[in-house]
Amino acid sequence: MYLNDTELMALTKKMLGWLKPGGYIFYRESCFFQSGDCERTFNPTVYRTPAQYNYLLTSVASQSGDDGFEIVMSKSVQTYIKIKKNQNQVCWLLQKVPRAADGHQGYVTFQQFLDNQQYSRKGILRYEKIFGDGFVSTGGLETTKEFISMLNLVPGQRVIDVGCGIGGGDFYMAKTYGVEVLGMDLSSNMVEIAMERAVKEKTPLVQFEIGDATRRVFPEASFDVVYSRDTILHINDKGALFRRFFSWLKPGGKLLITDYCCGEKPWSPVFQEYVKQRGYILYTPEEYGQFLEKVGFVNVQAQDRTEQFVQVLNKEVTRTQEIKQEFIESFSEEDYNYIIDGWKEKLHRCSLGDQRWGLFYAEKPLEIIS
């Protein structure tokens, strides 16, 4: 925070060079604004947002251009929150990794792609207007209540929400069931908004972090529940991710996922283009369930919920049309048309049988038989 942007990136490039392949860098900084009693009188302090740090540090490349940093985890330091009520101390863990030759549709990292494309801050708030306060996933609070009821949560359990968005489901679980929730999302814009909402919600049972579920490490049997809504469609190696989930769960722990799926190939050209543009990796609901079974989950339920998805989409289109003027005043007519057209395109892809929506429930056995 005592360096300007150019100095920070130069230092980061040096540290990148010092590290072995796969090496890590950990750091903590004061973000947003001054939080202590002492302020430097030289070299003006730069109180960046976490998103600004994320962008600067992941933009740095090695001398050859072959390596760079990707975020494994970033979160507010809980000790500062508990002792000083200070949510502005943020820590990061980044890993030195090879850079993809073609990047992610022109962006250096997948996180930058998310934050600048589908999940820009404006895009997130635009989605929230449709899904309802606190939500950026299909059906908002309505489907959240339905699906979470399947988990039979009890006070004191620990839940990890992979792809937590802006935290609506996490606040609901903590307040309704008294469970501890760690909300994790790769989009720094999502997590920043979630952290802002956490200050207003005043729910100490909920924490948020920017995290890459494919790299994040937790001790075995850390959680009672793994929960995820419409997120894993971005992940290539779903089997590897589900093995992580299996490890994170306690014996008897539960997993609940909703996700975009697909129909059998061949797909229509319009659906092929949609999947390519979004960078999704999709499978049929049946294949999805098979991934979970291969990992070792039992009592696997792989449900095709496309009919419910269509019903929810129609409700959301109708509701958006009813608040058209309010929506345009909050955003713009272009944003309104984007949402309406986008939802109608989803409905069309579903009518073709290409786009599907799945609900997946599974349990970790009480005893693992080797």
Number of domains comprising the chain: 2
- Which tokens belong to 250? 């306690």
Q: Is residue 314 part of a domain?
A: no
The model's confidence at residue 42, banded by pLDDT at 50, 70 and 90, is low
Strands of 67-76's sheet, edge to edge?
24-30, 89-98, 67-76, 206-211, 180-185, 158-162, 223-229, 249-262, 355-363, 298-304
Is residue 211 located within the same domain as residue 134?
A: yes
- Rg of the chain (C-alpha set): 21
**Region 95-115: what's the mean pLDDT?**
68
Q: Residue 52: which domain range?
A: 5-99
pLDDT, tens digit, 9 for 90 and up, residues 214-270:
999 999 999 999 999 999 999 999 999 999 999 999 999 999 999 999 999 999 999
Q: Does residue 111 have a pLDDT over 80?
A: no
pLDDT at 28: 94
Is residue 53 located within the same domain as residue 165?
A: no
pLDDT at 367: 79
pLDDT at 54: 86
Is residue 274 located within the same domain as residue 137?
A: yes
Q: Does residue 35 have a pLDDT over 90?
A: no
pLDDT, tens digit, 9 for 90 and up, residues 264-286:
999 999 999 999 988 899 999 99
Return the ∠ at Cα 199 (arms to 214 and 330), rounded to 5°: 90
- Residue 64, classed as helix, strand or coil, is coil
Q: Is residue 356 part of a domain?
A: yes
Stronger pLDDT, 320 or 279, i.e. the higher one: 320
Is residue 82 located within the same domain as residue 171?
A: no
What is d(CA 142, CA 287) in angstroms, rounded to the nearest whole number? 27
| 41 within 8 A of 91, measured Cβ to Cβ | no
pLDDT at 228: 98
Q: Is residue 196 part of a domain?
A: yes
Is residue 157 located within the same domain as residue 205?
A: yes
Is residue 155 located within the same domain as residue 303?
A: yes
How far does Cα 261 stand from its chain's mean position?
A: 18
Is residue 88 located within the same domain as residue 132?
A: no
pLDDT, tens digit, 9 for 90 and up, residues 2-16:
999 999 999 999 999
CATH number for 208: 3.40.50.150
- Backbone φ and ψ for 114, nearest 5 degrees, come out as -60, -50
**Region 139-162: what's the mean pLDDT?**
98
Is residue 189 located within the same domain as residue 78?
A: no
Q: Does residue 321 have a pLDDT over 90?
A: yes
Is residue 217 located within the same domain as residue 83?
A: no
Nearest to 50 by CA among 26, 27, 32: 32
| 12 within 8 A of 62, measured Cβ to Cβ | no
pLDDT, tens digit, 9 for 90 and up, residues 186-215:
988 899 899 889 878 888 899 999 999 999
Is residue 149 located within the same domain as residue 217?
A: yes
Is residue 211 located within the same domain as residue 290?
A: yes
What is d(CA 362, CA 255) in angstroms, rounded to the nearest whole number? 5
Q: What is the mean pLDDT of the chain?
A: 91
